[in-house]
Amino acid sequence: MYARLIGTGSYLPGNPVTNDDLAARGIDTNDEWIVTRTGIRSRHLAAPGTTSSELGLIAAQRALEMSGVSAADLDLIIVATSTPDFIFPSTACLIQANLGNKGAAAFDVQAVCAGFTYALGIAEKFIRSGSHKRALVIGAEVFSRILDWNDRGTCVLFGDGAGAIVLEASDKPGVLATAMHADGSQNGILNVPGQICGGQVTGDPFLRMDGPSVFKFAVRVLADIAEEVCQIAGIQTTDVDWLIPHQANIRIIEATGKKLGVDRNKVIVTVDRHGNTSAASVPLALDEAVRDGRIQRGQKVLVEGVGGGFTWGAALLEF
């Protein structure tokens, strides 16, 4: 029994917010500064009150439509998010309710920007065990809610959005290999060190990042885990038709591709148009490449993410 990807979907809220738009809002930055350092030209920001479950629902509906699977036929729903609607119930349960599904297992995964690859790997294991047949995997974020808009080193990097896939049990291989890792000793270089206690915010409720340390760590582990999943599948990294790394920073993306020996024309890049959408970034890029025809049946696609924790994960897919 294998797990095979049969549908993708994504959603970006509102109109693009350009770098010049941010500068006009009073942020001490400019288009050249952001593009030179990150490759980001715009991002999407959810309207006040819009939640991760709302973004994830639309992406999920689009993935289900492509797959031809009814929401009622799902028996597993996993949502990767660091910005859930509530402490509980899970964002997955909220999306399940709005889809009209009853009875499927539904839960959230919190691995920050590696969340989608974690969720995909978990869903694949459920399906390969034979216990579940159809899984909906979603990455959904409203990172704009946890940004310090006075910190130009972080607030210009992130955006909101959602992406989703549908996996189905198959006798033909689809997910060829997955891998997940974490190193909790690196928790201090990217975090949101705050919480709710007694009805009050304690600590720091905003995203904080040591950019140089994150860059070095990300490039190393993204290269390592790409080689790991390719080795599991018995291929070379140069045999991959498309590489979809976490869309955080063009420099990280280019450095990872170069280290792996993957031609830059085989690397899917969307960070310029939606910034870093954390767990949503990989499925957003995947959906775009599927819908515009770049990804074709029979091709091998390597997706990978790295995020706070520190966490990192990857999956090798055959379409």
2-171 belongs to which homologous superfamily? Thiolase/Chalcone synthase (3.40.47.10)
Closest CA to 250 of 45, 43, 22, 37: 37
Instruction: Please tell me if the domain spanning 2-171 has the same topology as the one spanning 176-318.
Output: yes
Q: How far apart are CA 291 and CA 295, in angstroms?
A: 8
Candidates 44, 132, 246, 274; catalytic one: 246
**Is 197 among the residues known to form the active site?**
no
Is 246 noted as a catalytic residue in this protein?
yes
Query: Annotated catalytic, 230?
Result: no
* 8 Å CB contact between 8 and 66: yes
Whole-model pTM: value is 0.97
* Catalytic pick among 113, 155, 191, 249: 113
Tell me the C-alpha to C-alpha distance, in Å, between residue 295 and each of 134, 168, 286.
22, 19, 9
Which tokens belong to 244?
């979809």
Q: How far is residue 266's CA from residue 287's CA, in Å, rounded to a whole number?
A: 15
pLDDT tens per residue, the chain (319 residues)? 999 999 999 999 999 999 999 999 999 999 999 999 999 999 999 999 999 999 999 999 999 999 999 999 999 999 999 999 999 999 999 999 999 999 999 999 999 999 999 999 999 999 999 999 999 999 999 999 999 999 999 999 999 999 999 999 999 999 999 999 999 999 999 999 999 999 999 999 999 999 999 999 999 999 999 999 999 999 999 999 999 999 999 999 999 999 999 999 999 999 999 999 999 999 999 999 999 999 999 999 999 999 999 999 999 999 9
Both tokens of 35, joined, read: 């593009």
Please tell me which residue in 19, 101, 191, 276 is annotated as part of the active site.
276
CATH of 176-318 given 3.20.20.70, 1.10.287.110, 3.40.47.10, 3.40.50.300: 3.40.47.10
Domain ranges, ordered by start, for the chain: 2-171, 176-318
